[in-house]
Structure formats: structure tokens, C-alpha cells
Amino acid sequence: MLATHKITSRDNARLKHARKVRDGKSDDAIFVEGIRLCEEALRSNMDVSECFVSSKALKNERVKVLAAAVVGNDVRISELPDEIFRSIADTDSPQGIALICKRPSCKRKDFEVHFHLATDRVPVVIFLEEANNPANIGAILRTAEAADAAGVIVSKNSADPFSARALRASMGSAFRVPIWQGTDFGKAVAWARTLSLIITAADISGDKVYTQIDWKVPRLLVFGSEARGLAEGDKRKIDDLIRIPINSRVESLNLAVSAGVILFEAKRQFGS
């Protein structure tokens, strides 16, 4: 029989903390919700500090297995009535399980180590400039892992790649893809130059088609803001400005779709 600690008040301190983490008001923790995402967190060896389950969810075999695994890692299970669990959930139809995990940290030096060790990955690092849609960021992280990209840099003034919404869109890839947060375009370009990466950007005005590029050589692949694209001054720092040919009646592609098209061409050329 799985031992749980029952919580019956919405005002419980643990639940207050869970809501704070859920709302992105914690610098060192992230809110992971849902059966599949919690399974991915455990599979990715995330550092779990809290586990919340609803009484109804504990009747689900997958939730029981998850809860037992969490207990095996010396984490206490807090059992909540369904209506109390909904007070901490980020989804409209919660599955009844959520974890509080330590926020992954990857600074510049850590990111460089990942890059140098990733010899079996496509040598492309993605840079997202002021990407404000967390679902797009999550989808790009999922695509980056699927295409074996070397890592993702997320600029200042972008959505949090570890927000609850971005995590759901990444389907667990955010736990495994190296992510360097909080730098700016100039610093990312300077970093890329030190490693001899070719600065490449996707832009509707690009003079080269993405299939004309040699993706076997290391590159920093830059995507501008969904709303504004790349500033003209930033474009002058780009070595290869590329475009994806599309029907002229369509203004542009979604950011995550554009990343997917280009990354899988890079993966095709790399032969992985």
C-alpha cells in the first residue's frame, strides 16, 4: 500500500508553494504536470522535490507506478481531493499528478561542454531572439531533440522554456536538450565566433534557400522575434541569410514549423 500525506486545505503551505512555482515565480523550481510529462521527468533523472496526486488519480495504474518511483527516490507523496488538486493544476482537465522539480541550469561554460561533447549530433545551435510564445519554444525544443541538434539558446525577453505551457509543448525534450537562457544576440554571436560557428539566420528576405546551405559545418541558426523578425542591424552580423520558399499568398511560416523544416534538412545532410 502506497503511503501518502493527505492535504485537505487549499491554504496549505506546500500548495501555496506549488502555485508559486506553477506561475513562474520561483527561480529554482519548475512545475511538471500530467502523466506523460511526469514519466519523462523521471526518465530524464530530474531532481524531484515534491509530488502531488489526486485521490482519483491514484486509482490509475500509471499514476501508481509513477508515485511508487517517486517514493523510491525519497520524495513524499501529497494526496489531495480532486477539487483541491484542480487549485494547483495548470490545465483545464488535469490528470491528477504534478511534480515540483529543480530547474535545470545550463550556463555558457556548461553549454560549451555539451557542444564539444556532442560529436554525434548535428552541429547546429539554435538561437531564439525574443521568442514570446511558450508553445513555440516547447515545440522547437522537441524538434531540436528529434533532429539531434546540439542545443538551444533562448534570449533575454523570451518566454520561459521551463514554464508549464512550454514544458507540455516540449513533451519532455526540455529536460534533455541543453538550453542556455538569458543572453542577448550580440553575446550569442560573439560566443559563436569563438567556436568558428557560421552565423546563419532564417528570414523571408534571405538570398539563399535553406537547401543550398552546407549543414555539416557548425552553425548558429538564428530565428528572430515572431512579431518583428530580425533587426536590420542584427542582419548585418549574419553570414548566411536563408529563406524557405513558400507560396506567395502566405506571409510567413510559424516559428516552430520553420525550425523543423530547416533542422531536418540539416539532419538529412549530416546523415544521422
220 bridge partner residues: 125, 199
Q: What is the CATH number of the domain that holds 261?
A: 3.40.1280.10
Same domain, 161 and 45: no
- Give the whole-angstrom CA distance, residue 41 versus residue 195: 32
Residue 260, domain extent: 108-270
Kindly tell me if the per-residue pLDDT of 165 is higher than 90. Answer: yes
Same domain, 85 and 188: no
Kindly tell me if the per-residue pLDDT of 256 is higher than 70. Answer: yes
Number of domains the chain contains: 2
Strand order in the sheet with 77-80: 5-6, 77-80, 48-54, 97-102, 29-33
Please list, in sequence order, all residues whose beta carbon lies within 8 angstroms of the beta carbon of residue 180, skipping any fewer than 6 positions away. 106, 107, 108, 110, 111, 151, 152, 153, 154
Kindly tell me if the per-residue pLDDT of 1 is higher than 80. Answer: no
Q: What is the CATH number of the domain that holds 22?
A: 3.30.1330.30
pLDDT digits (tens, 9 = 90+) for 7-44: 999 999 999 999 999 999 999 999 999 999 999 999 99
Dihedral of CA atoms 10, 16, 17, 18 in degrees, nearest 10, equals 50
Same domain, 68 and 171: no
Higher pLDDT, 203 or 128: 128
Domain boundary among 102, 129, 156: 102
pLDDT bracket for residue 272 (50, 70, 90):
low
Domain boundary among 80, 102, 124: 102
Same domain, 136 and 70: no
Residue 196, judged by CB atoms within 10 A of its CB (0-12, 13-18, 19+), counts as exposed
The whole-number average pLDDT for the span 238-266 is: 93
At 24 the pLDDT is 94
State residue 8 phi and psi, 5-degree precision. -120, 0
Nearest to 96, CA basis, from 71, 69, 66: 66
Same domain, 125 and 250: yes
Same domain, 92 and 123: no
Same domain, 113 and 170: yes
Domain boundary among 70, 102, 134: 102
Same domain, 252 and 170: yes
Q: Is the dihedral of CA 68, 70, 71, 76 positive or negative?
A: negative
- Give the whole-angstrom CA distance, residue 96 versus residue 35: 8
At 56 the pLDDT is 96
Same domain, 84 and 155: no
The whole-number average pLDDT for the span 47-54 is: 97
At 226 the pLDDT is 80
State residue 91 phi and psi, 5-degree precision. -110, 160
Same domain, 86 and 151: no
At 80 the pLDDT is 97
Same domain, 139 and 178: yes
At 154 the pLDDT is 97
State residue 85 phi and psi, 5-degree precision. -60, -40
Place of cell 539566420: 201
State residue 47 phi and psi, 5-degree precision. -85, 105
Same domain, 129 and 211: yes
- Tell me the pLDDT of the chain averaged across its residues: 94
Kindly tell me if the per-residue pLDDT of 227 is higher than 80. Answer: no
